[in-house]
Amino acid sequence: MITVILSGGLGNQMFQYAASRALSLKKQTGLSIDTFLLRKKTKTTIRSFGLDVFDIKTEEKGSLKTKIITKGFSFYNKYNLNRFIFKVFNVFRDQKTIIYDNRFEKISKNSTLFGYFQNEKYFKAFSDVLRNDFEFIVPIDEKNSKIIEEMASKESISVHIRRGDYLNPNVNLALLDISYYQKAIAYIAEKRENPHFYIFSDDMNWVKGNLELQNINHTFIDWNEGEDSFRDMQLMSLCSHNIIANSSFSWWGAWLNKNRDKIVIAPSIWYKADKNNNPPEGFIPEGWTIL
């Protein structure tokens, strides 16, 4: 049995599930989801279990083992005990958030995954299975249904501008400059006729005051909040093309886009500590454009 410890928001949980699901299929064993960390308050953002919006059928639990591993993680790390603890409990933790860890290929079939696993190489071989797993099952409301119909009739492009929690000094993700979005919009506008841009953001007032959209067809999507925030990902996935933020949320919105001719624009900088413009191999899927 493979167990995965979920943490973070919906995008993070999807990466964790994708890696563990792929591993369980490869090892021909079952998969269980541990949600203990989602019930724990953090210094950044309160999260909750989000995968129930998909057609995912797996065991959900919260174990004593996970409590021991996670509650003492800072202590173990401080005294270099984490490797010993992980070995005792057969836990695999990825070494870098977005870099593929080659040790993943040697994991046993009775392991617990604890980390982020934000690299397509962990699950690319099982992409078709995951696209089925990540089918949205919650009935669509009338307002979003009308937007979906509109997007299908246009050369639709999603634009995701993430700010919100990125303004928190405890968050390591970079706050992208508005110039990235302007360049991405101009790039697609040159390649597609009559594009219509659908703007998604957790700070829409700031976007309306700073993003230059004169003479550009656009719609602000600003009503999917709280428990309905996953709808933004669903709408992104149904656009013809995508301009993503340095965010796992819009990464998945673009990845789930089934348009074979899609243009996906991704930023070169993701973290505050990034010193170059070259995301690691496997993090940005083949065919996406990096600006």
In tens, the pLDDT along 177-219 reads 999 999 999 999 999 999 999 999 999 999 999 999 999 999 9
- Indicate whether 81 pLDDT > 70: no
The Cα 62–Cα 38 span in angstroms is 10
The predicted model scores a pTM of 0.91
DSSP letters along 20-53, please?
HHHHHHHHT--EEEE-GGGGS--SS------GGG
- Indicate whether 70 pLDDT > 80: no
pLDDT value of position 251: 98
- Indicate whether 107 pLDDT > 70: yes
Cβ-contact 162, 250 below 8 angstroms: yes
The Cα 152–Cα 189 span in angstroms is 18
Nearest alpha-carbon partner for 194 in 247, 245, 157, 149: 157
Cβ-contact 217, 195 below 8 angstroms: yes
In tens, the pLDDT along 36-47 reads 888 765 544 557
Please state which of the ranges 64-68, 103-107, 165-169, 265-269 shows the lowest mean pLDDT. Answer: 64-68
Please state which of the ranges 62-66, 180-184, 263-267 shows the lowest mean pLDDT. Answer: 62-66
